[in-house]
Structure 1
Amino acid sequence: MLQQFLTFFEKRSFGVCAYLGERFNISISKIRLFFIYSSFLAVGFPLIVYVFAAIVLDVRHYIKRIRDTVWDF
């Protein structure tokens, strides 16, 4: 069960940490550690921020993909 859970998140990683790392030029592992430690301190609030950021990035990617395909003739 735990292995399936880990495999799911490894395959379907939302890319939030990678996006933030590229955007702010910070190591991805430091951002991941920040989310882990802050979620222990703030009782899961950063997980809500992470999921919200994942949804926003997914919607942006979807809109960008639609916009690119409409203008390709």
Structure 2
Amino acid sequence: MSAIIKLKFFFEKHGFHVSSRLADSLGMRASSVRLFFIYLSFVTAGLWFAVYLTLAFWMRLKDLIRSKRTSVFDF
């Protein structure tokens, strides 16, 4: 077997079993733990998108409030 396939099998055997071990230690179902991690990933991605939109709105608002002069002689 190639090294990549061995590495893939290693992660499938040891890495994907984390949610079921965590669920066993917490006394809940593994599907609930997996669903929690999926929801958490969407929330964290959505949070940064909301921060991005807030900063973009803030910069646009700043440009609207502070008018830019085209010349030194404009009032």
TM-score by length of 1: 0.41
Q: Which has the higher contact order (CA 8 A, sep 6+)?
A: 1
Larger helix percent? 1
Q: Quick check: which has more Rg, 1 or 2? A: 2
TM-score by length of 2: 0.40
